[in-house]
Amino acid sequence: MKRAWMVLAVATVVTAITISPVLAQGRGRGNAYGAKGQPCPYGYTQPNPNAGGWWTRVSPTDPQQKTFVEQVKALHEQIRQKQFELAQMQANGADQSAIAAKQAEIDALRDQLHQLQFSNRELKQGIMQQNRGGRGFGGGGNGQGVRQRSQMRGTAPWCPYANTR
């Protein structure tokens, strides 16, 4: 009897060791690109038609929206160009002070972009809502449905968003 348990234990360990590399590879990933060695659907050339952020997928209607989107595009392009220059400097072994100065330029552009988007957040939400049909449970834009839902259930009196719209 003791020998049978020993054989069973050894067989279990051998089976686990044999199967574990197969399980470590994960389940089949279907026809996903790259999972079975297939190339990227757009090749290795750029630009990728799906690249970019929200500013590439909206269609502003009034002049104020168009100006805002153009400013955002310009800042993103400047940031992208400065990051490329920074990567080239780092790859070529440039002086650390020059690299720090380039990083400071990138940080300043990022701050400028953040301030532009923060100061125009209602305009941005309006652009996004008209192009995507809104979000949230009520379909009323970014997060409005979430607040409506929580108000239906009743909110805690200490909640900073209680009774706000």
Number of domains in the chain: 2
Q: What is the pLDDT of residues 1-52, one digit of tens each?
A: 788 889 999 989 888 888 877 666 665 554 455 555 555 555 555 555 556 7
Q: CA–CA separation, 87 vs 103, rounded Å?
A: 10
Residue 84 lies in a domain: yes
Tell me the mean pLDDT in the region 133-160: 47
**Residue 94 has what pLDDT?**
87
More confident call, 158 vs 86: 86
Determine contact, residues 79/106, Cβ cutoff 8 Å: yes
- Residue 93 main-chain phi, psi, to 5 deg: 70, 45
Q: CA–CA separation, 93 vs 86, rounded Å?
A: 11
**Residue 41 has what pLDDT?**
55
Residue 140 lies in a domain: yes
Residue 156 lies in a domain: yes
Q: CA–CA separation, 86 vs 100, rounded Å?
A: 9
Residue 44 lies in a domain: no
86: which residues sit within 8 A by CB, 6+ positions away? Answer: 99, 102, 103, 106
Residue 73 lies in a domain: yes
**Residue 16 has what pLDDT?**
82
Residue 78 lies in a domain: yes
The verdict on 117 and 89 lying in the same domain is yes
Residue 35 lies in a domain: no
The verdict on 106 and 159 lying in the same domain is no
**Residue 138 has what pLDDT?**
39
Structural domain of residue 93, as residue ranges?
Answer: 58-133
Q: What is the pLDDT of residues 88-146, one digit of tens each?
A: 999 998 899 999 999 999 999 999 999 999 999 998 888 888 766 544 443 444 444 44
More confident call, 60 vs 22: 60
Determine contact, residues 54/99, Cβ cutoff 8 Å: no
**Residue 74 has what pLDDT?**
93
The verdict on 129 and 144 lying in the same domain is no
Q: What is the CATH number of the domain that holds 85?
A: 1.20.58
**Amino acid at residue number 103:** Q
> 3-state SS of 115-160?
HHHHHCHHHHHHHHHHHHCCCCCCCCCCCHHHHHHHHHHCCCCCCC
The verdict on 104 and 140 lying in the same domain is no
Q: How confident is the model at residue 59 (pLDDT cuts 50, 70, 90)?
A: confident
Q: Is 124 exposed, middle or buried (0-12, 13-18, 19+ CB in 10 A)?
A: buried
The verdict on 126 and 144 lying in the same domain is no
Q: What is the pLDDT of residues 70-94, one digit of tens each?
A: 999 999 999 989 999 999 999 998 8
